[in-house]
Chain A
Amino acid sequence: GQQVMQIPQYQHVQEGEDFTTYCNSSTTLSNIQWYKQRPGGHPVFLIQLVKSGEVKKQKRLTFQFGEAKKNSSLHITATQTTDVGTYFCAGFRGYGQNFVFGPGTRLSVLP
């Protein structure tokens, strides 16, 4: 079954509103990656987090790794129509393992 969960499954926002998606793992993660997939497209790497409590920013996107390294979040400030897509987290448990993807959060932005 799924070892990495994401909430919410869907989110509809008005352009200009903020958006947050949460990623939760049942086990401690070595690191976590975030990907974005536009409708009809393929996943594209956004960022990787490695350290406990790490916070990284990319323009309007803020990524955070929890202190216990079991959860992560992606926050988008003032959404734009170009932010539309599905955001996936992928957790890595450690040596000999592979990344496990969450089910994704689909974001719709209404103009």
Chain B
Amino acid sequence: NAGVTQTPKFRVLKTGQSMTLLCAQDMNHEYMYWYRQDPGMGLRLIHYSVGEGTTAKGEVPDGYNVSRLKKQNFLLGLESAAPSQTSVYFCASSPGRLNTEAFFGQGTRLTVV
């Protein structure tokens, strides 16, 4: 089983460029999440989705957009990248919100120069 797969694994962007990170899960999970991980900050929730066609803002949504057109995919977009968005991005999925574990992808290391 692939679980949660993120594409790409690494990316370097110039300030102002745009890009989309793709997350795909094959576990038929309803919930999907995008986190960013910065040193000493743990994992901070950017956006999440409770089902196909739905999205909601998390703790740090500014500068990001998301879409969940298909249940298995959750896309994270950066319209105009900034150096402050240099981070490691993790996608996760879970069958529910409460009393269920989250399964994480392998992460995308993004550097904005």
List chain A positions with a Cβ less than 8 A from chain B.
2, 6, 9, 30-31, 33, 41-45, 48, 50, 88, 90, 92, 95, 98-104
Contact = CB atoms under 8 A, between A and B. Distances in A.
A45 B92 CA distance: 11
B42 A31 contact: no
Contacts of B12: none
Given A45-B101, A98-B58, A9 B40 contact: yes
Given A43-B104, A44-B104, A102 B42 contact: yes
B42 A45 contact: no
Contacts of A104: 42
B93 to A, nearest CB: 12
B104 A103 contact: no
A88 B98 contact: no
A51 B38 CA distance: 31
A99 B102 contact: yes
A98 B101 contact: no
A50 to B, nearest CB: 7
Contacts of B40: 9, 103
Interface in B83-113: 90, 92, 97-99, 101-107
B44 interface: yes
A48 B99 contact: yes
Given A31-B98, A50-B99, A98-B58, A42 B42 contact: no
Contacts of B107: 42
Contact of B106 (A6, A42, A88): A42
B48 A98 contact: yes
A103 B98 contact: no
Contacts of A33: 101-102
B46 to A, nearest CB: 11
